[in-house]
Structure 1
Amino acid sequence: MLGVKVIAGDLGIEDSYYFSRLFKKLMGVASNEYRNRFRR
């Protein structure tokens, strides 16, 4: 499973904190909550 830093970097976002805030704003939940909800 990829971490926030890796995913942010792949998207060209150097600041993982910024990515986390952006993810929550766009998805409505934090990235770890999203992962926990949709993990198989």
Structure 2
Amino acid sequence: VKVTLGANKGVAIVEWMASPQGDILADAVVALLMHAQSS
């Protein structure tokens, strides 16, 4: 899973190789980012 911070505040790009394991990891990373943004 690759996370790149965008040029604007609050923007992140999440990229991953499509696979069942990669999808689970990407879901977890997105959940962490969304939780961090709301805190």
The interval holding the TM-score normalised by the smaller chain is 0.3 to 0.5
Structure with more contact order per residue of length (Cα contacts < 8 Å, sep ≥ 6): 2
TM norm structure 2:
0.37
TM norm structure 1:
0.36
Q: Between Structure 1 and Structure 2, whose CA radius of gyration is higher?
A: 2
| Bigger share in strand | 2
